[in-house]
Structure 1
Amino acid sequence: MQDLSNLAEMIARHTDGDGVLATAIPRLSLVRMSKQTEPMQGLQQPALCIIAQGRKQVLLADEMFEYGPARHLIASADLPITGQVVGASPDEPYLSLKLDLDLSVLGAMMLEIRPQPISLVPTKSCGKALCLSNTDPKLLEAALRLVRLLDHPDDIPFLAPLAEREVLYRLLRGDQGEKLRRMLMPDSRLAQVNRAIAWIRQNYDKPFSIDRVAEEARMSTSSLHEHFREVTAMSPLQYQKQLRLQEARRLILSEALDAASAAHRVGYDSPSQFSREYRRLFGAPPIQDVSRLKTGPAAYAPASA
């Protein structure tokens, strides 16, 4: 508990106001929110998220993940999610860190680390690419050592890679270590689904057939349907739809496109279909939704972390 308190103190000290802070340590971000937020959609990339204070809900399709200081979240694929801070106040703000997973370092470490004996490998591991785990004290200690380097900027180039490596080592030795290994093994189901995800992300604005995605994933179509849903909690077409709608929202918000132009840009032929699906995902039609985001940005937290 002392390490958790120390981590919260470090995050609070290195965040100036609400929002997400990219730090001087590569791949490490800190998040602070002083009040509960509205749901916010986004794309969660492979990462470790540790909450030091407060609580958060993450929605993957229809599956809800809620966690706080005693647990952490690991994402092992690019996933469209909805995040909402549900435990925060000015006196006790939501404080968390997000460490994007360096897959090249993880892959090299996987080859170096001898697998644990079968009898010692934890048996409880969720099948989704988004999973919650209890935070082991050794993982918490390693994360705290990494964040403490923010107090010593001159040490970061030399010591941050070592501290990050320790965090990744603890993940590989933890109860989701086998999932991370499968993510990096080219013939595993998770790696095959990740290939399908990568192809859909590159071609989200174009029509595609399930056969084409299955070919890219090196799977049969029936196997792709089964394992894609197992990993992401949605079908490939549902995944594409969420990517399209999130990109359309970004275009309307950041490039001031009208709804029809944004819909066409992301691959919709029917503006009315786009409007219906946009409202279903974001809870309001495009103009109303974007106006809400512009007038009350402080109420919206990032989906990840």
Structure 2
Amino acid sequence: MNPIAPPPARPSPLRGDPGRRPWGVALAAVAVLVIASFWTLDLQWAAFFSIDALQRLVSFATEFVPPATDPALVRRVASASLETLAMSACGTALALAGGLLLALPASLRADLAGLADAPASWALSRAAARLLLNGLRAVPELVWATLLLVAAGLGPFPGTLALALHTTGVLGRLFAEAIENAPTGPAQALRWRGTGPVAVFVAAQLPQIAPQLMSYTLYRWENNIRAAAVLGVVGAGGLGQMLSFHLGLFQTREASTVLIATVGLVLAVDALSWVTRRRWMR
């Protein structure tokens, strides 16, 4: 008669769970890094919150009130708002296509793509795609716009390309992770029936990750609205260029009008994105 095996011993509460120790070490390392950051930086909190600094801040802020309402300025601001909106929309659309194309070789699903018999070539293409995505998103939009201004000149075109390049790196990484985390059942069933990799992706994987792709794209569009306004500072057109121009001439009331238009544009795009996501998820 075989004796009944005793239940597995549980870790003692005094010793703690060994599986959780890496998390504790990571949190301790982050805490040390944050404390060291505050310790090494020369943060002059006393000077920032001094009475003199607050008075100068209030005096400067009052110069923006009331905003300028000249009809000619309002028309230019409206035109610049449409230009900023077009830059963000075109840049995001280009990034959506480029990110999806790079996400396919950057994902880990070689078995679902029918490349399990060539792991070396798949690993090489995956590494190259990941490296390209990392390089695209490592360079900020402002740096991309500065580099492209040399080749394309002033205007919204280099700003649109700068948004597209940086956002391609961001969306490509997010799309690749969505593909990797998608359930494998439907795709495996199609692969066993001899379906090609493109048809597998379109029929099995894309419908599963479509809500995530839409959510990521809309979120990046919201970010690109803000980024497009900043890119104008280097001459890439839109509201940012108007803001840089009026602030450079110390025309604070005109700059206030541009700031109000920027905030209104961001809020409108945020609301549109929220409504779209709500309807898509239903």
Question: Structure 2 length normalisation: TM-score?
Answer: 0.24
- Whose Rg is larger? 2
Instruction: Please state which structure has a larger fraction of its residues in strand.
Output: 1
Instruction: Please state which structure has a larger fraction of its residues in helix.
Output: 2
Give the structure, 1 or 2, with the largest relative contact order (CA under 8 Å, sep 6 or more).
Answer: 2
Question: Structure 1 length normalisation: TM-score?
Answer: 0.22
